[in-house]
Structure 1
Amino acid sequence: MRRYLFNIHTAGVVSRDEVGRKYSSDGAAVAYGQRVVDELTKDEEYYDAIIDVVTASGRLVARLISRNAPPMRPVSQPTRQVSLH
């Protein structure tokens, strides 16, 4: 079993999970994180919440938003591409 942390981003503030939970796989941890963010965003104060699922060693497994989040607005102007060479 691996320990996963569930850091919550909302209103420009990050609440870091200090304890975490143990799961047997990344998929199980992501499923739990999705349930949490879906429930959390039902509260008007947390409508914009994002949860990062991170292993105890610091690897980002997933960044989750609510399934009920409004779709992103299309960008009105094309993104400018810059050569890195």
Structure 2
Amino acid sequence: MLLFSLLHPRWEFVFQPKYAAYLNLIEPWWKVLRSLALEGRRFETWAEIEQAVERTTACWNEHKHPFIRGRRRHHRQVRRLGVAALPTISLI
């Protein structure tokens, strides 16, 4: 890396501190991939881990959506504005 920086003076390396992993934009994606593919599962071989990651990545690519940093996806139906339904009252 030192040789590269001497040969390319235009480039400047800015090192990320270890305590600030959130600055690296790939970290949230790794967290999601790890939770979808590996969390709560036991694997006997590396091949099983590779298959789990490949299946998760394929599923992720089939259901494309924008990755917004710092927000969770909420799978909720859009609420319509209006008046709430009145309760039905039966008279005796």
TM-score category by the smaller chain? 0.3 to 0.5
User: Which structure dedicates a bigger proportion of its chain to helix?
Assistant: 2
TM-score (norm 2): 0.31
Mark the structure with the bigger radius of gyration: 2
TM-score, normalization by structure 1? 0.33
